Chains A and B, each alone.
Chain A
Amino acid sequence: MLIRINRVRRRLGMLTALFLASAWLLPTSIALAQAPAPAASPAAAAAPAAPSKPITTGDIKAISGPTDAQQAAGDPGGTITGTVKDIPVTDTKAGLSLADVVNTVGQNRIAINLVWTLITGYLVMFMQAGFAAVETGLCRAKNANHTFMMNFMVYGLGLFAYWVMGFALQQGGCAPNGNLGGLSPLNSEFVFHFIGGKPWGLFGERGFFLSGTTYDVGIAVMFLFQMVFMDTAATIVTGAAAERWKFLAFCISSMFIAAITYPLYANWAWGGGWTSQLGVNYGLGHGYCDFAGSGVVHAVGGITALAVAMIVGPRIGKFTKSGKPNPMPGHDMTMVLIGCFILAFGWFGFNPGSTLGASGNGSLRIGLIAVDTMLAGCTGSIATLLYMWIRFGKPDASMAGNGLLAGLVAITAPSGFVNTVGAAIIGFAAGMIVCLSVEFVERRLKIDDPVGAISVHGTCGLWGVISVGLFADGTSNYGGSWNGVNGSVTGLFYGDPSQLVAQLIACATLIGIIFSLSYVVNWLVDVVVGQRVSAHSELEGLDLPEMGALGYPEFQLVTAGLGRSMEVTAAE
């Protein structure tokens, strides 16, 4: 009994000692982690480095892989699959050489990056389904076919226009790109000299129809990835003009944004154009930094949506004669929220995919980018939920969905440059901003935006661009430089106010140039073919007059304001 008590005492004593030791060690280790790395001791620095022995083809040949008998027995542990035997040999007589190994390493790196970029591009493509669901759900049932078809056809129309000329204007001068094998044929940018005699890249000149020297494996991957981004911008516009936009006008307008408006701004940001060179030419941080497209994709889409919504005008019945807005709720909230989830899923392609690779040049930051993305989306939806609950007494579902999207839109530009705390703040602010913007657009500007596209993508896109200039923490390192400026992108809160200047110039460009261009083009479309459907078609619902088929033919749809069924209206 006494022996047992002694053992227990001894164990307790050891546990206490361990606890005290760990309590002393834990803060020490934290302090060590936060402290700057100590300089190497002189003794260590003076120690002679072991001479490195170059690897020769002889060394390579000495490596033996598994025998045929071992492989024939199967490999349940995965230990003998993927060995020296799997390296392709160029000269079978001479056997495996050092060049074979080195080339395989290089090709594997590019292969990882090509596969990564393709798969993330596929995710972004699937976002079209999310947009279609969100927009259709937020519109009335009598316009379901029309709204969904706009989101469906913007894919085909946009892709065609982008293949013909959009991609060339955007990326025609973007080479080199180390992650995708160089993209060397994309080497010609139209440049003119402006303020201070500095070169201003305006648009690319290689890659029309992806023909000639741009018939290239890496360029094809780049095209696919950039195309789905463009298509995201183009599909944003359909939401703001839904329920009264003539389908023909939509087709022309969408092809223009895919061929001209989007590629121009994307070139200036991502194709080596003038805003990306504000750092090199004028010392403004790293030039305009937009990691995945808060400005390039979302603000371009949202600002074009603003121009189109102004020209098309509000839906009949949206405003009273005194200008007071009437609510026009969508017909399927479940579709809206499913669409939001699809979009949030696709955003994991949007932001992490924008590294254009998973191997080399700092691409391993993809994990952080993904976490930043999900965090900002969540804080955005929480902020919107709180705002609506406090202001209107109910947690509004459609606005919670818009809050999620607002956070995701805002984090798109800074996702590659900020830490998780910054991401959470950016998302939360976006959730608040989208609520204020929706009210401002509807009540003050009296612009009818059925899905909130102008606020979610335009306003929060601009906020995302600005937030890079505030929250970029200077820890990202994509190959040692960004936009030709050495070092990491750093915002105002981390010591570089000049980055914010570049971001503000980009915002002014979005409104001053992109809005103006979109407005002029869509005004011309209005003059030539007309942007808006007839009042009769609008009241009836656009499904029959514009598309020739109802979205929900087996339902009895009562047209708001007329108090009669669609069938009666159609029969007339």
Chain B
Amino acid sequence: MRIVGLLVCVLGWFIAVLSVKVPGVYLQLLIALAGFIIAGYGALGIMNRAHLKNAIWKA
């Protein structure tokens, strides 16, 4: 899951970067924001959850 999380992080970055090719600045804004949120989800939603599975306080 950690690798999946990393891949989602990088995917989020790539989506944000691709916004430069989109016509219309407000659409660009929306895509860049989506990319940022996806990258954040990869880090906090997927990777952190993978770490919490084996958290020391659960033992």
| A306, A511, A520 interface centre (most CB from chain B within 10 Å) | A511
* Interface residue A513 (Cβ < 8 Å from any Cβ of B): yes
**For A512, what are the chain B residues with a Cβ–Cβ distance below 8 Å?**
9-14, 16, 35, 39, 42
Q: Which 3 pairs of residues, A with B, have the shortest CB-CB distance?
A: A512-B13, A508-B16, A504-B32
Cα A323 to Cα B59 with chains together (Å): 11
Q: Which of B27-43 contact A (CB under 8 A)?
A: 28-29, 32-33, 35-36, 39-40, 42-43
Total B residues in contact with A, Cβ cutoff 8 Å? 36
Select one of B2, B18, B36 contacting A511, CB under 8 A.
Answer: B36
How many A residues face the partner with a CB closer than 8 A?
A: 37
Across the interface, name the chain A residue whose C-beta is closest to B41.
A511
A516 partner, pick from B10, B32, B58, beta carbons under 8 A: B10
Mark out the residues of chain A between 320 and 356 whose CB falls within 8 Å of any chain B CB in the assembled complex. Answer: 320-321, 323
- A60 interfacial by beta-carbon distance below 8 Å: no
Q: Which of A487-517 contact B (CB under 8 A)?
A: 497-498, 500-501, 504-505, 507-509, 511-513, 515-516
Question: Per-residue 0/1 for B1-25: is the Cβ within 8 Å of any A Cβ (1 yes, 0 no)?
Answer: 0100010011111111111110001
Interface residues of B (CB under 8 A from A): 2, 6, 9-21, 25-26, 28-29, 32-33, 35-36, 39-40, 42-44, 47-48, 51-52, 55-58
B43 touches A306 (CB 8 A): yes
A318 touches B57 (CB 8 A): yes
Kindly identify, within residues 289 to 345 of chain A, every residue whose CB is under 8 Å from any CB belonging to chain B. Answer: 306, 310-311, 313-314, 316, 318-321, 323
Contact B29 A445 (CB under 8 A): no
Option from A278, A320, A323, A511 in Cβ contact (under 8 Å) with B13: A511
Given known A497-B25, A512-B12, A516-B6, contact A314–B57 (CB-CB < 8 A): yes
Q: B42 to nearest A CB, angstroms?
A: 8
Q: Please judge, given known A-B contacts A321-B57, A511-B9, A520-B6, whether A195 and B17 are in contact too, CB under 8 Å.
A: yes
The answer for the CA separation of A284 and B16 in the assembled complex, in Å, is 13
Chain A residues whose C-beta falls within 8 Å of the C-beta of B29 in the assembled complex: 497, 500-501, 504
User: Could you list 13 examples of A-B contacts with CB < 8 Å?
Assistant: A196-B20, A196-B21, A281-B20, A319-B55, A319-B57, A498-B25, A504-B16, A504-B29, A504-B33, A505-B17, A512-B12, A512-B13, A513-B10
A250 close to B (CB within 8 Å): no
Q: Which of A505, A509, A515, A520 contacts B19 (CB 8 A)?
A: A505
Query: Which residue in A195, A316, A447, A501 is a CB contact (below 8 Å) of B28?
Result: A501
User: A323 vs B49: C-alpha distance in the bound complex, in angstroms?
Assistant: 13
A538: min CB distance to chain B, Å? 10
Choose from B15, B28, B44, B55 the contact partner of A313 (Cβ within 8 Å): B55
Residues of A within 8 A of B40 (CB): 511
Bound Cα distance from A194 to B8, whole angstroms: 21
Residues of chain A within 8 A (CB-CB) of B32 are: 501, 504-505, 508
Q: Does A446 contact B (CB under 8 A)?
A: yes
Instruction: Judge whether A519 is part of the interface by a CB distance below 8 angstroms.
Output: yes
A190 interface residue (CB < 8 Å to B): no
Tell me, in angstroms, the Cα distance from A508 to B41 when the chains sit together: 11
Contacts of A447 in B (CB 8 A): 48
CB of A314 within 8 A of CB of B25, answer no
Contact of A282 with B by CB under 8 A? yes
Across the interface, do B56 and A515 meet the contact criterion of CB distance under 8 Å? no
Which residues does chain B contribute within 8 Å of A314, judged by CB atoms?
55-57
Q: Say whether B36 contacts A508, CB under 8 Å.
A: yes
Whether B25 and A195, one on each chain, are in contact in the complex, defined by CB atoms closer than 8 angstroms, is no
CB distance from B20 to the nearest CB of A (A): 4
| Most chain B CB inside 10 Å of its own CB: which residue of A501, A507, A508 | A508
A139 CA / B33 CA spacing, docked (Å): 36
Complex: how many Å from CA A507 to CA B38? 12
B26 surroundings in chain A (CB, below 8 A): 497
Query: Which single residue of chain B is at the shortest CB-CB distance from A325?
Result: B57
Indicate with 1 or 0, residue by residue over A124-149, a CB within 8 angstroms of chain B CB atoms.
00000000000000000000000000
Once A497-B25, A504-B33 are accepted as A-B contacts, the answer to whether A310 and B48 lie under 8 Å apart by CB is: yes
Instruction: Check if B56 sits within 8 Å of A313, measured CB to CB.
Output: yes
Contact of B43 among A323, A511, A520 (CB under 8 A): A511
Contact indicator A508/B57 (Cβ below 8 Å): no
Residues of B contacting A306 in the complex (Cβ-Cβ under 8 angstroms): 43
Residue of A195, A498, A505 contacting most chain B CB atoms (<10 Å): A505
* Residue of A196, A278, A504 touching B36 (CB-CB under 8 A): A504
Q: Is B58 touching A321 in the complex (CB atoms < 8 A)? A: yes
Whether A195 contacts B13 in the complex (CB less than 8 A), given A313-B55, A508-B39, comes out as no
